[in-house]
Amino acid sequence: MIDTTVAVIGLGSMGYGIASSARKAGLQVHGFDVNAAQVTRFQSEGGAPGTLAEVAPTLSAAVIVVLNAAQTETVLFGDEGIVSKMQAGSVVIACATVPPAFARDMAKRCAGHSVHYLDAPISGGSVKAANGALSVMASGTPDAFLSAAPILDATAEKVFRLGNTAGAGSAMKAVNQLLAGVHIAAMAEAMTFGISQGVSAEDFMAVIPECAGTSWMLENRGPHIVDGDYTPHSSVNIWPKDLGIVLDIAKETSFDAPITTAALKQFAAAAKAGLGGEDDAAVAKVYAAQAGLDLPKGG
């Protein structure tokens, strides 16, 4: 077994996959989540026991896969924050989508405790997380990369090294999220537009993936609409947050992002309509409702 003890904090669809991939690679992995059932499930599959307070001093790495900046800061520096308890030379691998300035601040505060910080947003979805095949947009000191190497080797197919300073990884993730959110909204708009013109969702998915108008998001999310299955792999609620971060960053530099603004409006409408917990393909329901259209019901 590799002599690396890891905590994965946040056992949602991405975090659970990361924890499982690290465990399968031979690392000793502790999993933590506010949902106790997820912790129990992970331990039943071979995850290491113990409370976070107990294991924090033993950790080589803590992988933070929570929702946002506020949750990241709470885990690291809140009343029960782990950084002050971690050993010198250990590393925090922070995976949430956050503003670059926040990542730089976290890195500075971690350094004050002799703990490395790797700004490491992730992409690839729950399936790639479970298969140890994520893409990681990472930035941090060479020592942070060195300390994080066993985790990255176990969980990522591609690691993009974007510089020696935290913040660059988060900036690239913001670029990715701009495109991903816009592409999902555009897919939903195009598919429902097609339905309005007599093009079935099934025919849409048979033709458009073979044409120039396709995208990875179209090919990945479109089948959810065809199947009428909105089981969340990535939920609607993620996008008001992530596209909001994009627009906050843009505002700081007086950059106009009207397409992002339009996509955010549709996801916000979906969340307001009670669809926030559904798969993000459910943004198509907003378009369908506006146009009086019926989407496939599925089995």
Q: Tell me if residue 233 falls in helix, strand or coil.
A: coil
Find the mean pLDDT for residues 98-113.
97
At 13 the pLDDT is 87
Averaged pLDDT, 263-283: 98
Q: What is the mean pLDDT of the chain?
A: 96
The span from the CA of 24 to the CA of 2, in Å, is 11
Q: What is the pLDDT of residue 233?
A: 85
Which domains, ranges and CATH numbers included, belong to the chain?
A: 5-165 (3.40.50.720), 170-291 (1.10.1040.10)
pLDDT value at position 2? 44
Q: How far apart are alpha carbons 258 and 196 in whole angstroms?
A: 25
pLDDT of residue 155: 97
Distance CA 261, CA 268 (A): 10
CB of 38 within 8 A of CB of 22?
A: no
Which one of the listed residues 173, 251, 272, 285 is annotated catalytic? 173
Residue 106 has pLDDT above 60, yes or no: yes
For the cut 70, the answer to whether the pLDDT of residue 3 exceeds it is no
Contacts of 66 by beta carbon, 8 Å cutoff, 6+ apart: 9, 10, 15, 72, 75, 96
Q: Is residue 84 over pLDDT 90?
A: yes
Average pLDDT over residues 23-36: 97
What pLDDT score was predicted for residue 299? 60
Q: What is the pLDDT of residue 22?
A: 97
173 is catalytic: yes
CA distances from 81 to 7, 16, 71, 75 (A): 13, 21, 11, 5
- What average pLDDT does this structure show over 19-30? 97
Tell me the pLDDT band of 178, cut-offs 50, 70 and 90. very high
Inform me whether the pLDDT recorded for 1 exceeds 50.
Answer: no
Enter the pTM of the model. Answer: 0.92
Residue 268 has pLDDT above 70, yes or no: yes
Q: Is 119 exposed, middle or buried (0-12, 13-18, 19+ CB in 10 A)?
A: buried
